[in-house]
Structure 1
Amino acid sequence: MTASERRRLKKLAHAHTVPYQQVVRVRIVLDAAHGYSNARIALRQRVHLDTVRRWRGRYADQGIDGLKDRPRSGRPPRFTLVQRAEVTALACQLPAETGMPLSRWSSADLAAEVVGRRIAEAMSASSVRRILAADVLKPWQHTSWIFIRDPGFATKAARVLDLYQRLWNGRPLAGNEYVISSDEKTSIQARCRCHPTLPPGRSRMMRVNHDYDRGGALAYLAAYDVHQARVSGRCSPKTGIVPFMDLVEQVMSQEPYASARRVFWVVGNGSSHRGKAAADRLAARFPNAVMVHTPVHASWLNQIEIFFSIVQRKVVTPNDFTALDQVEDRLIAFERRYNETARPFRWKFTPADLEDLLARIERHEQNEHHFQQPTGCGHQPAALPATM
């Protein structure tokens, strides 16, 4: 054994990232280099005598490389490629199409169906998961999507996106023109927990009692200035034309909106502000207000929904309020707190992204027969974004 080999073996013997079996083999060789007999080495390393003979012999024949495991064929596969393909094809079918009274497959259901169809004599749920993992298939999960139905989607969406970039009909907005995003967050309940909520402690998260008494529900109407990052809201027992117009009155009676040249109100298609009648009603009450509707089923284009998601995470969840008055006080207090530090949202969906989305949808429509096939896994109409 040369000095360089000895240094290398000592380094391997004390390494923390080398497999333990290889460390034992290295120590056997080092003990042999010190002159220990095979029997003494076996006692020192707590291995069988034949193990010592084997690794001393391999080192003598091949050097350090002889201490590594030799290539092995491994366990033969239990399932053929055809069986694996049939399992994948079954997972790519909806259960209802196979006559099963299920909404979606589980790995256990698939394993039972494979055996029932005699695809394999036996197969476990874990084997199904390993087969599907090769194609990144998870039929027990699902996601929802919605297809464009509004014939004027492109025009309406482009109009809203232009306003976010301070454009209207191709012209920049003036300094005294503003963009308001508005909507309602409905059915915020007051749930009084039957036992007090416990604060977090050492190695313990906050604990909220599951049982509660219902204290009613209210709606939170809010208007968000897109470029000033300022929210103005109010609570109401229910939604409707009157509560929405009360919110408009609250905002438009304040500066800078009262004396603004134009204030654009971006709203959805709820009953409180739907259609031309709502736009005319707003313009009649406030001549400098312009109502702009998002496309149908495109609430993700309305920036107020981002603020509502913040309210849901930071104010409403977990729900532990003794009465509706406490809900209202918390919402209004959070609104004031938010306005002190808020910054405009970094809106990333641009008119160019809209063109790409519409082009993708057009390509899907031209090749509609692909995603209509029952076994066409992965073929699906272009989904609209859920949020921005």
Structure 2
Amino acid sequence: MPVALACPIAPSAAERERLKKMAYGHRTEHRLRVRAQVVLHAARGRSNARIARETGLHIDTVRRWRGRFAQAGLPGLRDRERCGRPASFTPVQAAEIKALACQLPAESGTPLSHWSCPELAREAVARGVAPFLSASTVRRWLTRDALKPWQHQSWIFITDPDFRLKATRVLDLYARTWQGEPLGEDEYVISADEKTSVQARCRCHPTLAPGQARAMRVNHTYGRGGALAYLAAYDVHHARVFGRTEPRTGITPFMSLVTQVMNREPYASAKRVFWIVDNGSSHRGQKAVARLRTAFPNTVMVHIPVRASWLNQIEVYFSDIQRKVVTPNDFTDLTQVRDRLRDFENRYNATAQPFQWKFTTSDLDDLLARLDRHTADHPEQSSDAPTA
């Protein structure tokens, strides 16, 4: 009987380049790499038997992929769709699990704060959604829709009726503008606040430095060495920090911080110095405004909106203090805490640059517009809260 001739292979230049990448690429799947090598051998005019010898494949395998490329080109090298094993669960069951994950456990009387994949699988079986269900199956279904019911994120709704006005004034000052007029060279913006309860925790065993494949080790047991308050004022446009430690916060410690800043140049002879503060008891309301203005006539106190500390740039500096100085808390006494805070302040001032503040009044308008749309869509969630 006559022997069947092998299918002639003549790939185009683009197909040949693609085949080479598949055959010799480091990230190509092994099965695709082998199939591409078969086609490249065939393109050189080699017989199926020779290709089988050189690649270590069965001749029927070589014949199959050579024929598929001759019929369909590069798409022919992919696996064909297979029916596979019948699905164990219906799309309706998967949808019911996703709907359950989008509900709070308390709504169904389950004594949980949030759902986990094993708890969802257990609850689904208890409700008769499926006779059996594994946590891995639930996790795979939730991953398709990026559902993570075991995570939570907190938020604060705007309650200050003058939020837009107050926030706009602060953002304008960051952009060196006040009431529509640009600030002069002899006008400054100070962001100030207090970091309360900086503790001195003396560890019962010395802290161990990090080593190879080992993180720094801090003993869990400690003795309390007291606590102090750290007050700081930050020159927004010149990136300079002025800080002091006090036994506690209050009007007198805050005014001491103001005096510390305002008695030095260039603030003492400045035309205006704007003090951006929150609504803490040390500087709340019009009494604090009048008290500051009486002590230093060239000062202007500007309050941020209620519960909007993220608008106060000094909080960025305090986050550095928390991460780089306070954590992990290992101090012998409060004197060491004071010295560390002072030394860090000097180190910071030596190299600091102004923060790249990117949140502008346009971003504020977009944020408030989204909140207004949310309020309109869900009036029951914010019926008691003032609008922005």
Q: What one-letter code is carried by the residue in structure 2 that aligns with 1:54?
A: D
CA 1:178–1:68 in 2, change beyond 3 Å: closer, same or farther?
A: closer
SS in 2 for 1:352: helix
Q: Distance in 2 between matches of 1:295 and 1:13?
A: 63
1:71 corresponds, among 53, 73, 81, to: 81
Q: How does 1:1-388 map to 2 (within 5 A)?
A: 16-21=26-31, 33=47, 45=56, 52=58, 54-58=60-64, 61-62=67-68, 69-369=79-379
Deviations along 1:151-170, one digit per CA (max 9) or x if unpaired, are 11111111111111222222
Runs of 4+ in 1 over 3 A off after TM superposition: 1-5, 8-38, 59-70, 369-372
Deviations along 1:212-260, one digit per CA (max 9) or x if unpaired, are 2221111110000111111000011111111111111111111111111
Contact 2:229 2:249 in 1 (8 A): yes
Q: Distance in 2 between matches of 1:346 and 1:183?
A: 20
Q: Distance in 2 between matches of 1:168 and 1:36?
A: 84
The two structures have a TM-score, normalised by structure 1, of: 0.84
Give the C-alpha shift of residue 69 in structure 1: 3.7
Deviations along 1:345-386, one digit per CA (max 9) or x if unpaired, are 1111111111222222222222225879xxxxxxxx9xx9xx
SS in 2 for 1:265: strand
Q: Distance in 1 between matches of 2:314 and 2:51?
A: 81
SS in 2 for 1:181: strand
Give the C-alpha shift of residue 132 in structure 1: 1.3
Contact 2:48 2:63 in 1 (8 A): no
SS in 2 for 1:326: helix
Contact 2:38 2:51 in 1 (8 A): no
Q: Distance in 2 between matches of 1:284 and 1:116?
A: 70
The runs of 5 or more residues in structure 2 that have no matched partner are 1-5
Q: Distance in 1 between matches of 2:299 and 2:188?
A: 10
Alignment RMSD: 3.1
Q: Distance in 2 between matches of 1:348 and 1:27?
A: 53
The two structures have a TM-score, normalised by structure 2, of: 0.84
Comparing 116-125 with 52-61, which one deviates more in the overlay? 52-61
Q: Distance in 1 between matches of 2:191 and 2:51?
A: 85
Q: Distance in 1 between matches of 2:66 and 2:273?
A: 88
Number of residue pairs the alignment of both structures matches: 365
Contact 1:58 1:67 in 2 (8 A): no
Give the C-alpha shift of residue 332 in structure 1: 0.6
Deviations along 1:60-111, one digit per CA (max 9) or x if unpaired, are 7546777754332233322211111111111111111111111111111111
